[in-house]
Amino acid sequence: MSMKILVVEDEGDIRDLMTLHLTRDGHKPDGAADGEEALKKLQDNTYDLVVLDWMLPGMSGIDIAKTLRKMSSRVPILMVTARVEPADIVLGLEAGADDYITKPFEVPVFLARIRALLRRATMTEDGAPSTPGVIGMGELQVNENSYEVKCAGAPVSLTPSEFKLLVALVKNQGRVLTRASLIDLVQGSDVSVVDRTIDTHVFGLRKKLGVCGDLIETVRGVGYRVKNT
């Protein structure tokens, strides 16, 4: 399916490279060289996805992401950055980016991230669970209504924290979730979670899920995500 994608990148060669390969992949890319131009295009047009460079003249990619999230929480954002420190990546994700890729990047990886974000954002009835509240993902099945989890048909017993964590991850398949965002999603009247205990919960969750635990990827220094199946 052809999607309209805004590429916000001040380096012309990189912007041209991205738009070239997005066009070859069947999409309709548009370009912006700075934050001011990007915001004008976002106000005047509707896009299915935004590729956003972090370091831009004037308004930074972080500020644009925050502004876009106030305008629309539904448009996926792929952050592109030369900043590789975990703290920087966390900052980008918490500003509103759905995923990130670091420079220099491989074109196949760039396109794979684009496809993954678009799949999640444009899921149709064909890709939706057949039963309300039931999420199927390969051999893993999660029933939010009955609090049941099965891996390869076998029931898996989870604590309330582990169950909430699993639901948060599978509902955001392909998206990197920081530890802080997972705490916000998991925290509740019956569940109390603090920063580093997320790692302990994920460790326990993977162990109990067995072969299905391989679906959960660690994004070192940042958080976790569930692989696209």
Residue 189 confidence (pLDDT) above 50: no
pTM value surpassing 0.85 = no
In sequence order, the β-bridge partners of residue 6 are 30, 50
Which of 94, 121, 148 is the last residue in one of the domains? Answer: 121
Instruction: Give me the percent of the chain exceeding a pLDDT of 70.
Output: 89
DSSP-assigned letter for residue 172: T
Q: Are 51 and 148 found together in one domain?
A: no
* 16, containing H or E segment: helix 12-24
In this prediction, residue 72 carries a pLDDT of 63
Alpha-carbon span 28 to 4, nearest angstrom: 5
Cα(54)–Cα(38) distance, integer angstroms: 13
131 and 40 in one domain? no
Average pLDDT over residues 122-133: 50
pLDDT band at residue 122 under the 50/70/90 scheme? low
Do residues 110 and 157 share a domain?
no
Q: Quickly state the pLDDT bin for 126 (edges 50, 70, 90).
A: very low
CA–CA distance, 202 with 159 (Å, rounded to integer) = 12
Contact call for residues 177 and 168 (beta carbons, < 8 A): yes
* Final residue in a domain of this structure, among 121, 153, 176: 121
Token pair listed for 12: 């012309």
pLDDT above 90 as % of the chain: 42
CATH of the domain at 84: 3.40.50.2300
pLDDT, tens digit, for every residue of 94-121? 888 989 898 889 999 999 999 888 887 7
Same domain, 44 and 149: no
User: Averaged over 61-78, what is the pLDDT?
Assistant: 86
Q: At a CB cut-off of 8 Å and minimum separation 6, what does 211 contact?
A: 139, 151, 152
Q: How many domains does the chain have?
A: 2
CATH code for the domain of 220? 1.10.10.10
Note the pLDDT of residue 130. 44
Within this chain, do residues 21 and 86 fall inside the same structural domain, yes or no?
yes
CA distances from 31 to 116, 149, 227 (A): 21, 44, 29
Residues 138 and 106 in one domain: no
Using CA atoms, how far residue 149 sits from 73, 78, 107, 135, 163, in Å, is: 29, 31, 37, 10, 8
Sequence-distant (6+) residues with CB within 8 A of 203 are none
The domain of 142 spans: 126-226
Using 50, 70 and 90 to split pLDDT, how confident is the model at 6?
A: very high
Shared domain for 133 and 94, answered yes or no, is no
Quick one: pLDDT at residue 217? 92
